[in-house]
Chain A
Amino acid sequence: MASSIDDLDLKALVAAERRNNRPNWPLAVLALVISAVWIVPFYYMATSIFKTTEEYSQNHPLSLPASWHPVIENAVTAWTNAKMASGLLNSMLYSTVGAGLAVFIAALAAYGLTRFDFRGRNLWFMLIFSGTVFPLQMYLIPLFFTYQGLNLLNTHAGMLIFYTAICIPFPVLVLRNFMNGLSREMDEAARMDGAHELTVFLKIILPNCWGPMTATFLLQFTWIWNDLLFSTVLANKTDVRSIMNALQTFQGSYASTGPNVVMTATIIASLPSLILFFLLRRHFMEGMRISTV
């Protein structure tokens, strides 16, 4: 028995193992085809921005560009025609402040929902959470008329109020679950250490919530950034409209810009949220991890 390991046919074992790990060719080909189909739109976008309008209209849409420099002219055209600077600034304001405020308020709410024992706190939570259950479009018409009555149409304040409010419920859900997982003994310790409620929240709870807060901030930031519907209806003047709204100038009967310029504008418009994702990716990935000691 003791020498049984020496009697084994090692080569046969190795061969058998290798057979198990052999790639499944039909499956790999299928995956490759699906990926290719998936990538085509990105390829189309990435090549179009390097073409002039003539080049685009004379060749096949998927052909390779002749040189790279038309992208500069495309960008300049897009930037000036759509007044992208003001759109970017407005969107920056809405997304940063709206998402930031929403997440902070959500954190306050989650703190109350997990730390204070009051009657009906589950009811309150359901009430807040019900904000995410209905289709958002439902709010559109009432909101328009209310804003009209309050003179909030076409104002920065009106947009900020709407975006902040609409972005609160989801972070409440995430942060409530996360804070539930944070040891309550930790904030009891802080309270015994002499901390008042606000100190407990700001110095003990918040620093342990950066992960999920960044994650929900990013998600809400992107949602606001990409929102077209509400910004079209509630703020359509040039000086308050968002970047996505600004892109719409390329559409419609008088628009004469070629798809190459539209594609360039689109890419410029999506750069900020891409960059933000890239910068905060580590926090985003760690977002849902709980660490308590």
Chain B
Amino acid sequence: MAVVKLQNLIKVYGSALAVKGVNLDIPEGAFTVFVGPSGCGKTTTLRMIAGLESISHGDLLMDGERVNDLPSRERGVAMVFQSYALYPHKTVRQNLEFSLKLEKLPQAEIDRRIDEAVSVLELQPYLDRKPAALSGGQRQRVAMGRAIVRQPKVFLFDEPLSNLDAKLRNQMRVEIKQLQRRLGVTTVYVTHDQVEAMTMADLIVVMRDGRIEQTGSPIDVFERPANEFVAGFIGTPQMNFIDGSISDDGKAVLPSAGIELQLPEGRFDLPALRQRAVRLGFRPEDIVPDGHGIPIENGQNITAPVTFSEMLGNETLLFGRLGENDFVSRMQRPRLVERDETLNFRIDLDRIHLFDQETGESLRLPRS
């Protein structure tokens, strides 16, 4: 177990900056997930922690010790690669014991560790097979086994589930999470799938364009996005945004939608926001068609035509229009909706987000 500290990490490829100053404390024993759009530098950051990529600038500390120049084999980290990267010419058992043999551990200890990993990962029937004779999920398990037997201080995962089909992915997601809980090993997990991020993480790190946009627990990042980017990135379908301004009496005036919303006290510093140009955001589950889902107490009714609907079985996504703006609404316990049918919706005013139109920063008051 270890505390990993990233201090102003920078990575330069040629003359391009891939990581632009990342500061982060990775808590001991926790499951930390890096999430962000493609090319934002998640893998690069992870590989710097792994020691597979040199650190251009900044410090990487593990247990308080600077490890920038330590080769990866001496960092006590183990990694599960996206491609699994198993050794094709070795059997499963040989794949698992490779690192232990290099460490020159006594055979009894090697056997003990392999037996343990094999029983946890249910690899017993495949020990003598070569990787080519395994299914994707089994290879995934071997890759994890190879990491486990080393008893590393830190586990690193780089999109380990992206090569699996949806069902297996859900299953492995749970397994990895449970395994990590059981072993209590500090884990850093990279994904661009925000469902994985939300479900597995103790700590989510949202990255964009080489920088960290927000760090927090899944519920934090979801409920209190620090800026418009995080608000839009976390949550599917994504948050609805409408431009407007704040009136003197604390209303959000949205001319392009033709509505005004009375903002609640306590969530924003309304007097300070008077006449500010803002971007108002609300999630699809916070604009509810009449009679579906839990009735909203502090809400405001609006009517809007539905141009398109997507039936998912347990719910339906309604694509509506508010003036010039498109929005998405989540309909619980769905009924059939005709095309261009006009529905009554209710917006939950207690769950509205405001962002600065220029900077995209959240205008919500900090937690008191």
Contacts and interface: CB of A to CB of B under 8 A. Distances in A.
Contact of A195 (B73, B131, B139): B73
Interface string B126-144: 0000111010000100000
A208 B86 CA distance: 12
Given A192-B77, A193-B98, A293-B139, A204 B85 contact: no
A183 interface: yes
Interface string B73-99: 100011101111111110000000011
Interface in B82-125: 82-89, 98-99, 102-103
Contacts of A208: 88-89
B117 to A, nearest CB: 14
A186 B71 CA distance: 17
Given A208-B89, A292-B88, A191 B52 contact: yes
B98 A192 contact: no
Interface string A184-210: 011011111111100100011001100
B328 to A, nearest CB: 38
Contact of B99 (A183, A194, A207, A293): A194
B87 A204 contact: yes
A80 interface: no
A52 B103 CA distance: 69
Nearest to A196: B73
B266 to A, nearest CB: 50
Interface string A267-293: 000000000000000000000000111
The range of chain B's interface size is 20 to 34
A291 B90 CA distance: 12
B192 interface: no
Given A186-B87, A189-B146, A293-B139, A199 B102 contact: yes
A190 B71 CA distance: 12
Give chain A's interface secondary structure class.
Answer: helix
B83 A185 contact: yes
B50 interface: yes
A59 B51 CA distance: 79
Which among B72, B78, B89, B130 has the greatest number of chain A C-beta atoms within 10 A?
B89
B150 interface: yes
A185 B132 contact: no
Contact of A189 (B51, B81, B89): B81
Contacts of B73: 191-196
A20 B238 CA distance: 59
A207 B98 CA distance: 14
Interface in A191-235: 191-196, 199, 203-204, 207-208
B146 A193 contact: yes
A194 B79 contact: no
Interface centre among B86, B88, B99 (most CB of A within 10 A): B88
B257 to A, nearest CB: 49
A158 to B, nearest CB: 37
11 contacts: A185-B82, A185-B85, A190-B98, A192-B51, A192-B73, A193-B98, A194-B103, A291-B88, A293-B84, A293-B130, A293-B134
Given A194-B99, A293-B131, 20 more contacts: A183-B83, A185-B82, A186-B86, A188-B79, A189-B79, A189-B87, A190-B87, A192-B50, A192-B52, A192-B72, A193-B73, A193-B98, A193-B102, A193-B150, A194-B102, A194-B103, A208-B89, A291-B88, A291-B132, A293-B84
